[in-house]
Structure 1
Amino acid sequence: MDITGKIKGIKYKKSLEKNLIKFNLENFDINSSPSSSLIFDKQNLFAISKWVSPKRTRSYPYKRIYDTIHISKKITVIPAVKDEGKCGDRDFLQWDTVSMMSLLDVYVIFAYYSDAEKLENKIAEQKFDNNYVISKIKEIEGYHSSGLHWNLKELADLHFIADKIQLFKN
């Protein structure tokens, strides 16, 4: 069965607005920041959210996006892969996640974990490479095309971070 459709526009009225904490980009750390917040640098203000897994059903990431939807430039940080080890889950980024973010004009930073705690058969407390995330935020600061164009460009360049993604070795 094929289902086709055409989206002609997105209209919404936001309710239940959350007050977001504001951080200066100079002092920003994606790992210690809340799931949704604001960052500013010079004259720019961005909304930023982070996902703990690329799987959309594991941590309710759409709530994090919803909290930032009222800001004109929205960024979300998604791990391309999350591997929790032999006794944990291994989740991968899905194309429809990127499609939804592009539809909402959210700039996606495909990130990777650079540090974690090793438990007996699992890894936990995974941390993003903060320097990488900040470098991407600075790129977005100077990027004036849509979230869709950014996301397509980043998907084409995803292989550059593939070697930085460390899968748990059994």
Structure 2
Amino acid sequence: MDRSQKEALVAEMKGIFDEAAVVVVAEYSGLTVAEMTGLRTKMREAGATFKVTKNRLTRLALDGTDYGSLSDKLKGPVGIAYSSDPVAAPKVVMDYAKENDKFVVIGGAMGETELDEAGVKSLASLPSLDELRGKLVGLLQAPATKVAGVVQAPAGQLARVLSAKAEQG
């Protein structure tokens, strides 16, 4: 990699860190190519990304961003998971770490807030943005459904009474 490619990579990573809502650092030592591909597929499906980069270049990209505190976690074979949804990347990473002993979550950050492994785990237990939107829509629609049921109930009762009278005689 020549100097211009390195500068381009640092600029790209800086842009990623500026747009990301959460960044998780994990050690992947010992994973096979198939396992890494499986992890990346799961991340993509959740709207997140897992990337393995050179630690020195990533430290340069972290400098001056909200995620600068992650620089000390970039030692050895580590990768970064990031997403614009604060829950997507931690959820996939923690699920994958449960399935695979070779994949270890080191920590992460959400903006300027640094997270240890327990912090990432608690963030992963929260519902995703889409799940919260679905619950909100359900709550908004529930009263309208109940009002419609109450309004229709007297008409239904009247129809049942008339039907019963017609059957009697």
TM norm structure 2: 0.29
Of structures 1 and 2, the one with the larger relative CO (CA 8 A, separation 6+) is 2
Q: Provide TM-score, normalisation by structure 1.
A: 0.29
Structure possessing the higher radius of gyration over alpha carbons? 2
